[in-house]
Amino acid sequence: MRFNVERIRTDFPILNREVNGKSLVYLDNAATSQTPNQVIDVIVDYYRRLNANIHRGVHTLSQEATDAYEEARIKIQKHFNIAKSHEVILTSGTTHSINLVASGFSSYLSKDDEILVSAMEHHSNIVPWQMLCERTGAVLKVIPMNQNGELVMEDFHKLISERTKLVFCNHVSNALGTINPIEEIIKASHKVGAAVLVDGAQAAPHIKADLQALDVDFYTISAHKVCGPTGVGMLYGKEFWLKKLPPYQGGGEMIAEVTFDKTTYADLPHKFEAGTPNICGGIAFGAALDYMNSLGFDDIAVYEHELLEYATSELLKIEGLKIYGTAKNKTSVISFNIEHIHPYDIGTILDKLGIAVRTGHHCAQPIMDFYKIPGTVRASFSFYNTMEEVDVLVEGVKRAKNMLL
Ligand SMILES: *Cc1c(COP(=O)(O)O)cnc(C)c1O
């Protein structure tokens, strides 16, 4: 049976709303995804029926909330085929996860060590490493990209050496949609003894990653990009690394024993989960993965690819329109500009028509510098978008062009 997008759309109440008197066409999925009733209900139910602090209380509510939270951890573990549930650290999101790892490596790096990052990283996968280099004297090197928005892998193989200690790359670029060859990056990095962190924030809505098969050292995602709530996410780390790295924050939950002379830390995963976590968010994160799995990632990928192909070919019919990011392997993200028009002006007119796109540098300024542009208009499609919405976008872009030129 064909992907039943009309039925799926009934799960998302927000898709029925109007914006500026028009039906909302939501094409900013790379920034955040919408939330289905199945997840909203879990959030409401949590505060109506379950709300209590976890891991400490003997009372029934606390135990039930703890069970639901730990069940979510197991769902995340299974989804990513992670070997041990304590290798799943629940964080506030990708940014938090990356900073936790960057901070942890402070004491393991020194001058002359090298860190490689790809040229198409989100700022959250650039700035923490620059800060780490400032603290340790390590040197940051960049894996370059080509005009299509693909990493230049020959250069990567030249850059990596015995001096390389850490390699960072996103699985999918949020600005261009490129799917990066992370298998090759992980294998080559391990050969020289470097650890690899893959930022999976943009991949997670499209690709179900098998983290044991990938053999990656760290993998990060944010729940709000996979139909879950904001403010919660995952850090996967191999047990070896999570045992080795020091805690990131001190506080309640993360200790075994505290005296004024000495504190010993709790076992994994609690060592990295100081303070009261986003309990409701964690439970809803699990529900969001359940929802996406009920649709099936293979079917999602096929359908989103149809949307991508159709939107690409229709947009390219507009004279003067250029798409940035034309990698062979990409997800349903289209970054574009029209000659002589600022992306912000296109975005503003599209909003008047009820169409939500992102304009600007998409937290990836180095990519914009590479193409020598101030930013792009980015339309990013999800499985709940339709071919009709692609038509509305294309008509809207044509209209914007006529008004602005
Ligand atoms: C969204 C995104 C991030 C940041 O995620 P937060 O939820 O804001 O922490 C990092 N990297 C990529 C590739 C992203 O798409």
Residues spanned by the domain of 371: 5-29+296-404
Q: Identify whether residues 259 and 289 lie together within a single domain.
A: yes
Report which DSSP code applies to 246.
P
The phi, psi pair for 309, rounded to 5°, reads -65, -45
Give 403 Cα–ligand 1 centroid separation in angstroms. Answer: 34
* CATH number reported for the structural domain that contains residue 12 in this entry: 3.90.1150.10
In a domain, 40, yes or no: no
Same domain, 313 and 282: no
Boundary (domain end) residue, out of 263, 293, 323 = 293
The answer to the question of residue 60 being in a domain is: yes
354 within some domain: yes
122: Cβ below 6 Å to ligand 1?
A: yes
Determine the pLDDT at residue 2: 67
Ligand 1 near 121 CB (within 6 A): no
Domain count, the chain: 2
With a 6 Å cutoff on the Cβ, whether 95 touches ligand 1 is yes
Instruction: Please tell me the residue having the least CA distance from ligand 1 atom 12.
Output: 201
Q: What pLDDT shows up at residue 254?
A: 86
Ligand 1: which atom is nearest the Cα of residue 124? 10
Instruction: Please list the rounded mean pLDDT of every run of 10 residues in the chain (405 residues).
Output: 88 97 98 98 98 90 97 98 98 97 93 95 90 94 96 98 97 96 98 98 98 98 98 98 93 85 90 95 98 97 97 98 97 97 97 97 92 96 98 98 95
Q: Are residues 320 and 285 in the same domain?
A: no
Amino acid making up residue 82: I
Domain edge (last residue) among 271, 293, 315: 293
**Residues 76 and 17 both lie in one domain:** no
* 39 occurs within a structural domain: no
Residues 177 and 225 in one domain: yes
Chain-centre distance of CA 324, in angstroms? 20
**Cα 201 to middle of ligand 1, angstroms:** 5
Residue whose CA is at the smallest distance from ligand 1 atom 8? 95
Whole-Å CA distances, 211 to 18, 26, 208, 312, 391? 40, 31, 9, 31, 37
Alpha helix ranges (H) inside 13-58: 37-45
Query: Which helix or strand (DSSP H or E) is residue 358 part of?
Result: strand 358-360
The pLDDT of residue 251: 84
130 and 231 share one domain: yes
CB atoms within 10 A of CB 250: 12
Pocket lining: 380 vs ligand 1, CB cutoff 6 Å: no
Indicate whether 205 and 98 sit together in one domain: yes
Q: Are residues 202 and 339 in the same domain?
A: no
Indicate if ligand 1 lies below 6 Å from the C-beta of 330: no
- Residue 47 lies inside a defined structural domain of this protein: no
Determine contact, residues 184/158, Cβ cutoff 8 Å.
no
Closest CA relative to residue 116, chosen from 162, 150, 147? 162
pLDDT at site 208? 97
Residue 181 lies in a domain: yes
Distance 122 CA to ligand 1 centre (A): 7
The CA distance from 97 to 349, in Å, is: 36
- Residue 34: inside a domain, yes or no? no
Read off the pTM: 0.97
Verify that 285 and 323 share a domain, yes or no: no
| 286 and 332 inside one domain | no
Residue finishing a domain among 293, 317, 349? 293
Ligand 1 centroid, distance to 195 Cα (angstroms): 20
Residue 106's domain is classified under what CATH number? 3.40.640.10
| Residue 196 is assigned to a structural domain of this protein | yes
Does 280 share its domain with 300?
A: no
Same domain assignment for residues 152 and 278: yes
Task: List, in sequence order, every beta strand (DSSP E) within 230-301.
Answer: 233-237, 255-258, 263-265
Q: Which residue has the tokens 């799917």?
A: 179
pLDDT of residue 262: 87
Q: Which two tokens stand for residue 388?
A: 């009709």
Token code pair at residue 299? 């079917």
Asked whether 174 lines ligand 1 (CB < 6 A), one says yes
Pocket test for ligand 1, best of 100, 199, 332, 378 (most atoms within 8 A of CB): 199
Structure tokens that stand for 150 in this block: 């693909």
